[in-house]
C-alpha cells in the first residue's frame, strides 16, 4: 500500500465519520455532546487525505520522479493488509448497524448500583409526568418512591426479557460511548406489553413498592404498574 492508497483509506474513514456525524447515525455510537468533536475529526482526516493525494500527484507528474524509494533501497509501499482499514469505513457508509438493545440488557447488570439517597425534586408538571428510566429507577429505589406516589408516570424504552421470560422495560445508559453502555431495567406489572424483544413502547402507569434483584450484578430492579401502552418507532437518540 503506497502513500496514495493510504490517503484514499484516510479519505474514506474521514468521510464515514462525517456522514455519521451530520446525520443521527452517530447517536448509535456516542453521546450527543460529542458531535462537534466527531465533525472536527472527520474534517481533519478528509483534508489531510486530500493534501496527501495532491502531493502524490505532484510527485508523479515531475519529470525527474523515479521509482518510489525512501533512499535506503526500500519502496514506500506498505503491506496490502492496510486495505482492511476500509472495512469499518465502508460499513459506516453502506450498513446501518442497530443500537444496543435487548441482547445487551439480557447480558449486563442493571445500572442502579450507586446509592443516591439525596433530596429528589418534585416530578415535572404534566399528566402523566414524563421520566427517563434512570430517573424513575433512582427515585423508586433510593428515594423509596416518595416523589412518585399519587402521580401518573410515562416511561419510554424497549422491551427485553427478564430471566423468567417476562417482558421488562429497558434502555441503555451511556457515560461516553456504546462501549461503556449499561442497561437500566424496569420490571412491569399490570397491562404488560405483549410484543417481541427490542420493540419500543411508551408506557403509562404508576409506581408500585416492589423491587427484585438483578441476578447478574445484584442491583435493585424497581417495578412499574402499566395501565396503558403503545408501540412507537425507535427514537433518534436511543440511549439515556
As a whole number of angstroms, the distance between CA 93 and CA 11 comes to 12
**Pairing state of beta strands 129-130 and 153-161?**
parallel
User: CA angle 118-138-131, nearest 5°?
Assistant: 115
pTM to 2 decimals? 0.75
Sign of CA dihedral 158, 159, 160, 163: positive
- Rounded mean pLDDT for each run of 10 residues along the chain, 240 residues in total: 76 83 80 86 89 82 56 50 67 72 92 81 93 96 94 97 90 86 96 95 97 94 97 92
Which residues make up the CATH 2.40.50 domain(s) of the chain?
A: 102-231
As a whole number of angstroms, the distance between CA 106 and CA 101 comes to 9
As a whole number of angstroms, the distance between CA 121 and CA 102 comes to 31
As a whole number of angstroms, the distance between CA 208 and CA 225 comes to 6
Residue 75's pLDDT is what?
47
Residue 74's pLDDT is what?
45
Q: Does domain 102-231 have CATH number 2.20.25?
A: no
For residues 120 and 139, is the Cβ–Cβ distance under 8 A? Answer: yes
Amino acid at each position: 500500500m503506497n502513500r496514495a492508497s493510504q490517503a484514499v483509506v484516510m479519505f474514506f474513514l474521514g468521510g464515514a465519520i462525517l456522514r455519521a456525524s451530520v446525520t443521527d447515525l452517530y447517536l448509535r455510537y456516542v453521546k450527543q455532546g460529542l458531535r462537534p468533536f466527531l465533525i472536527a475529526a472527520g474534517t481533519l482526516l478528509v483534508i489531510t487525505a486530500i493534501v496527501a493525494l495532491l502531493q502524490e500527484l505532484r510527485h508523479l507528474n515531475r519529470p525527474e520522479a523515479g521509482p518510489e524509494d525512501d533512499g535506503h533501497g526500500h519502496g514506500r509501499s506498505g503491506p496490502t493488509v492496510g486495505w482492511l482499514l476500509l472495512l469499518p469505513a465502508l460499513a459506516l457508509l453502506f450498513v446501518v448497524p442497530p443500537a444496543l438493545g435487548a441482547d445487551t440488557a439480557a447480558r449486563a447488570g442493571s445500572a442502579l448500583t450507586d446509592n443516591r439517597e439525596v433530596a429528589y425534586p418534585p416530578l415535572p408538571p404534566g399528566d402523566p409526568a414524563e421520566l427517563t428510566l434512570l430517573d424513575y429507577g433512582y427515585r423508586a429505589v433510593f428515594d423509596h418512591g416518595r416523589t412518585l406516589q399519587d402521580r401518573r408516570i410515562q416511561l419510554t424504552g424497549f422491551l427485553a426479557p427478564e430471566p423468567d421470560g417476562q417482558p421488562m422495560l429497558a434502555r441503555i445508559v451511556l457515560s461516553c460511548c456504546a462501549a461503556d453502555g449499561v442497561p437500566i431495567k424496569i420490571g412491569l406489572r399490570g397491562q404488560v406489553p405483549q410484543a417481541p424483544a427490542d420493540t419500543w413502547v411508551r408506557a403509562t402507569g404508576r409506581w408500585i413498592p416492589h423491587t427484585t434483584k438483578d441476578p447478574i450484578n445484584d442491583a435493585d430492579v424497581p417495578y412499574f404498574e402499566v395501565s396503558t401502552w403503545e408501540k412507537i418507532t425507535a427514537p433518534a437518540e436511543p440511549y439515556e
